[in-house]
Structure 1
Amino acid sequence: MEFDSVIRGGTIYDGHSAEGFVGDVAIKDGRIVAVGEIVGQGREEIDATGKIVTPGFVDIHTHYDGQVTWEHTLAPSSNHGVTSVVMGNCGVGFAPCRPDERDMLVELMEGVEDIPEIVMTEGLPWNWETFPQYLDAVGSRQLDIDVAAQLPHSALRVYVMGERALRKEDARAEDLAAMRRLTTEAIHAGALGVSTSRNLLHRTQAGELAPSLFAEEQELLALAGGLRDAKAGVFQIIPDIVSDTASEFDIMRRLAQASGRPLSFSLLQMPTRDPAAWADALRLLDEANADGLSMKAQVFPRPVGMLYGLNLSFHPFSLHPSYQAIADLPLPEKVAAMRDPAMRAKLLSEAPQDPNPVRMKTVHNAHAAYPMGEPPCYEPNLNDRIDRQAAARGLSFEEYVYDLLLEDEGHRLLFLPGANYRDGNLDAALAMAVHPQTILGLGDGGAHYGMICDASYPTFLLQRFVRDAPAGQAIDLAQAVASLSDAPARCVGLNDRGRIAVGYKADVNVIDLDRLHLHMPRVVRDLPAGGRRLQQQADGFVATLVAGVVTYRDGASTGELPGRLVRGGQLAPA
């Protein structure tokens, strides 16, 4: 056979061209070797007639830093056509790390990214100390998709400063020099970039701020200097969401100037701040790029979805004192206990208690949640908000939601549009998604195991904004495919993928767009120590190939593991 595989007769959206075209794709030795009308045969022939053929999708904002060390499947991302992910975002991760600092990083990841401590304690092999050693450990793994890593600032700060990193101390001159040197070392070893967080919501379970939150601007400039010294890498940052947009943007501009490298930052329409803040950020972003800076905003094409339920991390009674006695029971026993009239009366009489203000706010925000059904609705009717439904029935929110949580034997999920859903529409999400200086991301795959399941956004985008879009809200299919593949790949320097063209890595999706369907998230217990996480399946992905190997067929894993660690930026094919 002339080729390893040939995908025949599909409508190809190559991630670059303005329009789709019918043709074949030939693959050999993990690369695309021909596109068009292919005469030769492949050992495997994939019939794509009536389907669309796209590059594999690239998700640049994930947190698989732990999961990549204990399992081979990077789900839920790999269930939605994603073939390459970037981890180490938000300044959190597990390297560099000395043995006596491991608990500190575990506590931080538990609080910031909602990964249970027992899962990390049981799952992490800790066969590294330095960041290059961590890359070596990941590089030994066989995976269903490719993964690239960034150096996390909080871990780096603790590694350099020890306990001083948590005592709100400023970095000394020798600390700054060490951080700059270690950033360069990480890039030379294969890190894709460096990441940090200035978001005050990023705390440990006990409510302590993430170490990166104590950093002054000179410390961030040291990280930027490390990128400049390496002459490579990207800078990823979560801005302070409560600061003035202009002043925060000025800091990011200075970081981009100091590094001479691309910088990206998270941008959402927040529910409680200036409704025009996101638009102001886009205006400033346009100005920065016009001035020659390489800056992008990472945006999300639907509401950031906080989920509540008796089987999840939070629900309206999860921080009530009496609930703690049943919190760890199996779900059927928990439901039985909550159906006891005495327990009901006790919980309804109590209020949440927790020293962590973020956890308290999370529970309080459940008042604005909606029941989630099958299929899941990510733009619910405002009248269906649980507190409004309770008022319409003459009940308190607590009385109404108590019974709601017990429906479906305790499996009922509640959905809170945590961002990008002001005034009950997706207008801001759409405007951000199609802006020329933004990149789709923020799905957080590998994190928030019991709170969020947003890694499914590629399926949502193709379903909601392409196939089923109302008039005036449609994204052109070619543009949508490019925004999921070529654009994010180029943003972080993975220039060898994201397109269907000769010489490019053979990461490919065959999708039945008419049959594309996103299912409601469900809870599974397949993490180390029986840990819980949310998974979300989709119909319509006929085949996904990584390096020319079929990894998923009709949504089911084939068991093939061609995915590997990607070390650093990659050159585009000649």
Structure 2
Amino acid sequence: MQQYVYDIVINHGQFFDGSCRDGSIRHLGIRDGRVVTISDVPLPDHAAPKVYDATGQWVTPGFIETHSHYDAEVIATPSLKESVRHGVTSVLIGSCSISMINAQPEDCSDLFTRVEAVPREAVLPILKEKKTWGDAAGYRGFYDRQPLGPNVGSFVGHSDIRVAVMGLERATSPAKPSEQELQKMESLLEEALDAGCVGMSLMTTRLDKVDGDRAWSRPLPSTYARWNEFKRLFRILRRRNAVMQGAPDAVKKVNVVRFLWQAHGLFRRPMKCSMLTALDLKSNPWLNVVTRLSGFVANRFLRGNFRWQTLPAPFTLYLSGLNVNAFEEFSSGELLRDYKDEDAMYAKVDDPAFRKLFKKHVNALFTKGLWHRDFSDCWVVDCPDTSLIGKNFEEIGAVEGKDAVDAYFDLAVQYRNDLRWKTNYGNHRPEIMHKLLASPYTHVGFADSGAHLESIAQYNFPLRLLKYVRDADEAGLPFMSVAEGVNAVTADLADWFGLQAGSLRQGSRADVVIVNPEGLTDELDDVAWAPLEGTSLNRLVKRNDDAVTATIINGRVAYDRVQGFDDELGRERNFGQFLSSMDVKTRVRSTESGLQTA
């Protein structure tokens, strides 16, 4: 029987180690889950059962997504193939105040499903069956046993903590938590950090609403917290060097100043802050300047450790009928979103008085949030009347002597969810995107994978970043090198969040991607439907299989462009593992005999 030196050999690739150093031709040998050889000369083809000739291709560390909503999917179908096929080997869950750690299964489902646009009838049965834990230690134990696809790390959600302590109804009301309840919240945060969570996520925008019957359409529990509650939890995060991931008020935006101040490091340890989100919005063309400037102020003048999350792709949403999350940004749209009965919602838009009010709010100048509210920039992508496909609502209305809003409402009433349309919120100007992506105060790890199954398809976000880099270089207008682009979706994220990932050195864990730069084409923006593994659901995806030759996790080929996925991915414990933050400080508890390290 032949004895191999390596499990995998990758020869002739342009090798990027995750740093900002330019790539060079190197040859890798992988054995027992580790990179054991990085050679200047090719390794023998007979040295391994699997050999890749990566001539003309990039060999990089596995990509990292630091803002996903895979919380439900990773419990049910842990392979997370849609990310793995695009080179992602590590993901963080528990974002936006929503995690599945402490609260009861129905509570976790109601916090998650409406906000993240994943059907409650799909999520709740999964949690009732598989969520056997009720604390952070049990949560960590589940992931230590779970046969993961990519590596998984987690935040603990503030809404999760609040509901576990106060109950869903009190947590979504103006009721103030008692001192005992505040102490319990502090304890749950400490326990989550002890179990390996990278930090706590929170939410202050009231656009995201609760599902279910008990607190239907109330904003997330985190939005009801007063600043004293946040500050007590922030002290723990700061003391233990953990991350606060959050979002300012998306409409008023004023409270971002309080977050900037909380992050400061003047005469104290700064608190790591990762905030949503640095975008080039059509509704606010100067927002990109404000976010970059605020990052400069927070980090340079206030000596903080503050980063804005940014999406390295056009921010285009695909929508069905009246199912539009952005309607939450103004009162008449919020009224529509509050209807639980679909028939009543569609009947409402036939009311002339409501239409008049809706148009007034759509045209208001000073209340715009993320969405530009321009129906001439809303395009039909699917409809039983195929003659409408490719037209916007203003064009459709002009033919029938209607304004754009009436044209939209009439079609929505007629076809309901069979009317599919898209609109671009922003990230539409490449030159502005280059500035956002190159800023030292932004992180390129936001994609919302696992959520908004029918409207957002950004699973390939690292490839889209590399396309920006390659396109700009070919146009003679480079804004970052390929090495810097790779660093932005690997080591830059891993180092800041304290994850043991994102770099390739001799002896490091073998999470590797082989990227074919010739595959970074415009097809990266094309959307299609694909089944969600293990369910009856479909979701939108963006795929260009020419871009990734192979994704290797823990020294095993998880995905190969020709051979597909390994049959054991997500079924056997041969691939991903739970990632604890190496930066979170150990808790020190006081005892009767003095101080004791936990």
User: What range is the shorter-chain TM-score in?
Assistant: 0.7 to 0.9
Partner of 1:144: 149
Residues 299-329 of structure 1, C-alpha deviations (whole Å, 9 max, x = no match): 11223221124798889999899x94699xx
Give the drift of 1:368: 4.8
TM alignment of 1:101-250, pairs within 5 A: 102-124=105-127, 125-162=130-167, 163-205=169-211, 206-229=216-239, 231-245=240-254, 247-250=255-258
Instruction: Check if 1:515 corresponds to 2:519.
Output: yes
Q: State the aligned residue count.
A: 533
- Going from structure 1 to structure 2, the CA distance change for 1:121 and 1:366 (only over 3 Å counts) comes to farther
1:68-79 superposed matches below 5 A: 68-79=74-85
CA distance 1:492–1:362, shift in 2 (3 Å): closer
Residues 167-217 of structure 1: per-residue CA shift (max 9 Å, x gap): 122333222222222111111111111111111212224421100001111
- Written as runs of structure 1 = structure 2, the 5 A alignment for 1:389-404 is 389-390=395-396, 393=399, 396=402, 397=404
- Of 544, 564, 567, 2:576 maps to 564
Is the 1:445–1:455 Cα contact (8 Å) retained in structure 2? yes
Gaps of 5+ in 1: 328-342, 375-383
User: d(CA) in 1 for partners of 2:371 and 2:481?
Assistant: 39
In structure 2, give the amino acid aligned to 1:390: I
Matched position secondary structure for 2:188: helix
Give SS of 1:139's match: helix
Q: How does 1:548-559 map to 2 (within 5 A)?
A: 548-554=555-561, 556-559=564-567
Q: Deviations over 1:358-405 (max 9, x none)?
A: 9xx99995825454889xxxxxxxxx8713433564654478769999
Q: 1:320 to 1:149 in 2, by over 3 A?
A: closer
Cα deviation per residue 1:64-111 (whole Å; 9 max; x = unaligned)? 11111101221432221111001111111222113xxx3333222122
Is contact 1:72–1:144 with CA below 8 Å preserved after alignment?
yes
What amino acid is the match of 2:107? Answer: M
The reply on whether 1:294 has 2:305 as its aligned counterpart is: yes
Q: Distance in 2 between matches of 1:95 and 1:320?
A: 28
Pair 74,181 (structure 1): closer, same or farther in 2 beyond 3 Å: same
Distance 1:274 1:364 in 2: 8
Deviation at 1:16?
0.9
CA contact (8 A) 1:182 1:226 kept: no
Contact 1:309/1:315, CA 8 A, preserved across alignment: no
Asked if residue 542 in structure 1 is aligned to residue 553 in structure 2, the reply is no
**Residue 488 (structure 2) aligned to one of 483, 491, 495:** 483
1:55 aligns with 2:64: no
1:532: Cα distance to partner?
3.5
**Contact 1:224/1:259 (<8 A) preserved:** no
Q: Superposition RMSD on alpha carbons, in Å?
A: 3.9
Q: Is the 8 Å Cα contact of residues 153 and 580 (structure 2) preserved in structure 1?
A: yes
Structure 2 CA distance for aligned equivalents of residues 363 and 476 of structure 1 = 32
Gaps of 5+ in 2: 328-332, 363-368, 383-389, 584-598
Give 1:332's aligned residue: none
TM-score by length of 2: 0.79
Q: Which letter maps to 1:414?
A: W
> Which aligned pairs between 1:299-314 and structure 2 lie closer than 5 A?
299-309=310-320
Distance in 1 (alpha carbons) for counterparts of 2:469 and 2:421: 24
Q: Aligned in 2, Cα 1:270/1:170: closer, same or farther, shift over 3 Å?
A: farther
Higher alpha-carbon deviation: 553-562 or 132-141: 553-562
Rounded Cα–Cα distance in structure 2 between residues aligned with 1:213 and 1:451: 24
Residues in 2 aligned to 1:309 and 1:369: alpha-carbon distance in whole angstroms = 15
Moved more, 526-535 or 40-49: 526-535
SS at match of 1:543: strand
- Structure 2 residue identity aligned to 1:133: G
Q: 1:180 to 1:467 in 2, by over 3 A?
A: same
